[in-house]
Chains A and B, each alone.
Chain A
Amino acid sequence: MTAEVGAGARTRLDGSTYLRPLPWKHAVEVLPPEAIVKLHDNTLAILEQVGVKMGSKAWLERMADSGARVDFAEERVWFPPGLVEEKIKMAPATFELAARDPALDLRIGSGNVYLSTDGCVPDVLDLATGERRKGTKRDLSEITRLADALPQISFHWQPVSATDTPDYVRPLHEIEAQLSSTSKHIQQMTVVDPWNARGMVEMLEVVAGGKEALRARPLMSNFQCCISPLSWEGEPLEAIDVLAQAGIPVGICSMPIACATAPATMAGLMSVMNAEILSGITALQIAYPGHPTWYIPYATSMDLNTGALNLGWGPEELTSEMAGAQIGRHYGIPTITGVFGSGAKTANWQAGVQNGMSAFGKVFSPADMVTAAGTLVFCNAYSMEELVLDAEIWDIAWTFAKGFDFDEETLAFDAIAEVGPANHFLGSQHTRDHMLDFWRSGIFDRDAWEDWEAKGKPDPVDNARRKMNEILNTHEPLPLEDDMLKELSKIVDAYQAERAEEDD
């Protein structure tokens, strides 16, 4: 999977901005080949001997029919190694994801690394005041609109939970808010039950222009998560039925936590994770052969002092992100891995270190899609300033990954000969011709000390906030027709009314 440098960059309908996926170049393999072999062996042994729980009778029957050993009373499935290896090969290596603006369609497996906003975050964090509060539907719209304008962001998750809407129908409110705030592809990750899945498909058919149009151009994708360790609940599986039948790509995700829902070693953590993902992909390919999917590894660890997720994350998390992408590449299945999500509580030194390393991990160990930008406190608080800062890191990674030009002009032999020893290049023609070629940060401070003091010692966050406000004051996403907006709103209302009545 190689692509020309920057081949994924595309102009939008209004010609204003581009998508900036990282070019997929050579990879650093963090796991030696023998580790991959051992990991695969461990995984097959778990699937054959321990098995997974599956909370859906229909899915258990399909597994039994395809040759897996099933205990219906215990809701347990054991997969023979041959079945797993056969089925995971059926996952397509390439497919397309549609966007409302066709210029922003994503080509999965084309050698691009696409970045998204983070998702499902409970709180928003205002870095100007340090205030943290619950997210709302309006926050979701505004963050989505900001991300729509940032070329570094190629697709969206649901950045914050719209906690001011009823939780049973919240995913549909989120879809409504996002469809009108962006023309990029949306990965709907909060739909985890068949009822909301049906609402999602209904809404998408309105925007796409019918069932077949949606199937041809899936404006949204989805993924479902295994409950670690090794447990598939019934509702996510039934949601897959609704979405797969409508032609929506569905990824398979595992989020084990070392020491808690997985063993306390990298080997154990990744073995459980790989078993969970491969069980999901095997099941999906048994139920819907050839359906587009992703290998989605999100391994984390628990902090023993607090019992919470490890906010001080370091080498293990970086390794598991890079290794997860490597395993996905090894299986030839399109892959989504984690990026950013610093455990820091402000956009400080720690946030810079963690998010910088995490982003460059994607340059060195690429995946098809990487998630996600804009959060602090390890994905627990969304900050619009942080989204701008993460986009800036992505821009550094993007420029770095393109490499540098080397030809007679750029190597500057004549300029060097002309200037000679103990002189300078400040006024030379070559400098005038090329000084604009260098990347320039909109966020980094590179003032002289005196100027910086005179300006009141600004922080990069101040620069990010300025950029954020500029975008929010001016950016208008590609509008949805009024009729469509009304139709979407009607669907959300109808679903909300239906469930509200049931609750009464």
Chain B
Amino acid sequence: MERIRSANFKQRYEVAPPETIEKIHMATLRILERTGVHVGSERVLKRLADAGVKVDLTDNRARFAPEFVEEKLALTPSHFLAAARDETCDLDIGGGRSYLATDGCPADVFDLDTGERRRTTKEDLHKLMILADAMPEIGLVWTAMAANDVPISNRPLHELLAKLTGTTKHIQQNSTYSEHGARGVLEMAKVVAGGAGELRRRPLLTNFQVCLSPLSWEEGHLDAMTTFADAGIPVGFCCMDLAMASAPASVAGTIVLANTEIVSGMVILETLYPGHATFYVAFPTSIDARDGNMEAGWGPEELLMQGACQQLARRYGVPVTVGVGGTGAKVQNWQAGLQNALSAFLASIQPGDILSDAGTLYSSLIYSFESFMLDAEIFGLLCDMWEGYDFSAETAGMKDISEVGPGNHFLGQQHTRDHMRDFWMPKFFNRATWEDWGAQGRPTPQDAAREKVREILSTHETEPLPDGMDEELQNIVAAYELSDEDD
């Protein structure tokens, strides 16, 4: 059975005309040259200065000449290998197929048994990884939830262990923001890969770093980035601009700022590590300043930003991650279905290489096992939809149409019996008649999803790590725990 469902989405819809995309690029160059970005790591700042970048060491600012930016952007590879413990799950990111990833990393979860909101644990993360391992719709995993019940200093290592033991699919290690954490994570990855050389050849991990909007790269993020890059791990750049708060109060301005941030990250990486694999991760959204509400919103503007950022990444020829599961709804209701369906639908005709964010509610603040299943249903529907249909006379059943003739029916035809099971079959859409649905106690899609979660968790067995490796990894995790003074 296929372990990973992916899609070759062939449509190329564009929310913005190419000339607008060019103008956004020009505005990005202008900001990088005149305003520049904050580079919080002195080591990185010095390496940039050595490479000819104009840096101001007093306020940690780097400003990039337009030609320099263009030159560095041209170095980015168009695709890269995201390897997996199970080689059949290796992904060629940027190779033309789209994969669905989990979300990450909320600190709260809806408890599967009580339905109550509570803090996440390492065990929750592990359970979600088992689900991800079993579900073909999931191509790769993030650190879906924070392991709140372990010390902060080595938390990324605990999280990696939960992931490695939960799934053999590719791991995007998004929760590592310090050199210390990155070193530990890499040490573990080397054990699993079979050495530093093997890890470089087959990166079982990828990473991305998040810009602090507006325009600020913090020291820990940059040091983690260089640590991963030194080991040959692809590093993406992510921004989460909030229009009206950390970004301007316009769609255009927010896109410009988001693009500037991501481009600055890629330029820093390509300056220090020419030709290093990277990817574009943009999650811009907006707040509602009218009533002082700081909650991230979701509306047509978010879809326009999603589409424009996808076009910018395509313009630069780098793989792109598009968020498709970021509903603001707090339960799996009409709003949740609508919002996630619209972003996913757009991401299927303005395709992302990675579609992320499956499984959360409340703007990625709360994980939900049920939502994880439901988001996968949306992705599966879209994969089926864009596979296309054969219109040959044989498939059309021309012989049967002729036999049946006007005013008759096709129920018993051989062609009908041969093809009736080709139609898509939902897992969680309710298909019962009104009467049957009433007799069943009016179940909701999330009820069906919850049942499926329980079924998978009680039956699925992830391929275990080789004998003794678990213990070796646990030792590394323990070794990276710092006392409070060190932290």
Contacts and interface: CB of A to CB of B under 8 A. Distances in A.
Interface of A: 26, 28, 30-32, 34-35, 38-39, 41-42, 45-46, 49-53, 76, 130, 132, 227, 229-231, 258-268, 270-272, 301, 303-306, 308, 310-316, 318-319, 343-357, 360-361, 364, 377, 380-381, 389, 393, 396-397, 399-400, 403-407, 409-413, 415-417, 419-426, 428, 430-441, 443-449, 452, 457, 459-461
B297 to A, nearest CB: 6
B322 interface: no
Contacts of B331: 457
Given A351-B337, A425-B244, A447-B295, A264 B249 contact: no
A417 B36 CA distance: 9
B23 A411 contact: yes
Contact of B245 (A260, A303, A426): A426
B188 to A, nearest CB: 32
B389 A438 contact: no
Contacts of B425: 312
Interface stretch (B71-79, B426-434, B466-474, B477-485): B426-434
29 contacts: A42-B391, A42-B393, A229-B407, A259-B416, A264-B420, A265-B395, A268-B400, A314-B429, A349-B445, A350-B430, A354-B429, A356-B341, A360-B345, A396-B299, A397-B300, A404-B16, A405-B252, A412-B250, A415-B248, A416-B248, A421-B36, A423-B214, A424-B245, A433-B249, A434-B249, A439-B299, A444-B339, A449-B117, A452-B330
Interface string B408-441: 1111010110111111111011111110110000
Contacts of A51: 406
Contacts of B409: 229, 260-261
Contacts of B434: 132, 345, 377, 380-381
Contact of B384 (A306, A315, A357, A421): A315
Nearest to A303: B431
Contacts of A308: 433
Contacts of B107: none
Contact of B407 (A53, A420, A435): A53
Given A348-B333, A356-B338, A411-B24, A446 B297 contact: yes
A28 B349 CA distance: 8
Interface string B188-217: 000000000000000000000000101110
A473 to B, nearest CB: 24
A263 B396 contact: yes
Given A263-B397, A349-B374, A349-B446, A306 B433 contact: yes
Contacts of A424: 214, 245-246
B244 A426 contact: yes
B13 to A, nearest CB: 6
Contacts of A441: 299
A76 B406 contact: yes
Contact of B424 (A314, A355, A364, A411): A314
Interface stretch (B155-163, B175-183, B284-292): B284-292
A272 B253 contact: no
A345 B437 contact: yes
B354 interface: no
A379 B238 CA distance: 43
B79 to A, nearest CB: 25
A406 B31 contact: no
A345 to B, nearest CB: 6
Contact of A439 (B253, B289, B300, B392): B300
Contact of A306 (B253, B415, B431): B431
B347 to A, nearest CB: 12
Contact of A416 (B23, B35, B212, B390): B35
Given A53-B407, A265-B389, A271-B396, A422 B288 contact: no
Contacts of A430: 248-250, 253
A355 B300 contact: no
A438 B337 contact: no
B54 interface: no
Contact of B24 (A348, A360, A406, A428): A406
A91 to B, nearest CB: 23
Nearest to A27: B13
Interface in B1-24: 11, 13-16, 20, 23-24
Using C-beta atoms within 8 Å of the partner chain, give the interface range for chain B.
35 or more
Contacts of B11: 28
B111 interface: no
Contacts of B250: 404-405, 409-412, 430, 434, 437
Contacts of A318: 385
Question: Which secondary structure dominates where chain A touches chain B?
Answer: mixed
A357 B345 contact: yes
B92 interface: no
Contact of B431 (A319, A343, A412): A343
A347 B216 CA distance: 43
B392 A38 contact: yes
Interface in B280-311: 286, 288-290, 293-295, 297-301, 303-304, 308
Contact of A404 (B260, B304, B382, B384): B304
Contacts, number: 400
B47 interface: no
A495 to B, nearest CB: 30
Given A271-B401, A364-B13, A433-B249, A353 B337 contact: yes
B295 A448 contact: yes
Contacts of A262: 410
Contacts of B431: 303, 305-306, 310-312, 343
A109 B415 CA distance: 39
Contacts of B61: 421
A231 B407 contact: yes
B121 interface: no
Contacts of B430: 311-312, 343-345, 350
Contact of B215 (A34, A421, A460): A421
Nearest to A269: B396
Contacts of B413: 263
B26 to A, nearest CB: 10
B348 to A, nearest CB: 10
A448 B31 CA distance: 34
B301 A404 contact: yes
Contacts of A399: 299-301
B35 A420 contact: yes
A175 to B, nearest CB: 29
Q: State the 7 A-B residue pairs at the shortest beta-carbon distance, nearest first.
A: A352-B337, A412-B253, A352-B338, A315-B385, A312-B431, A412-B248, A263-B397
Contacts of A130: 442
Contact of B338 (A34, A393, A413): A393
Given A41-B393, A76-B406, A437-B250, 19 more contacts: A42-B393, A45-B393, A229-B410, A230-B406, A261-B409, A267-B389, A268-B401, A271-B396, A345-B434, A349-B337, A349-B374, A360-B346, A399-B300, A416-B214, A421-B35, A421-B214, A426-B244, A434-B248, A438-B244
B286 to A, nearest CB: 6
Contacts of B391: 31, 34-35, 38-39, 42, 266-267, 270-271
B301 A431 contact: no
Given A405-B252, A411-B256, A312 B426 contact: yes
A433 B444 CA distance: 44
B338 to A, nearest CB: 3
B360 to A, nearest CB: 14
B379 to A, nearest CB: 11
Nearest to B332: A349
Contact of B256 (A35, A316, A413, A449): A413
Contacts of A426: 244-245, 289
B80 interface: no
A127 to B, nearest CB: 10
B249 A259 contact: no
Contact of B385 (A26, A319, A351, A419): A319
Nearest to A452: B330
A349 B333 contact: yes
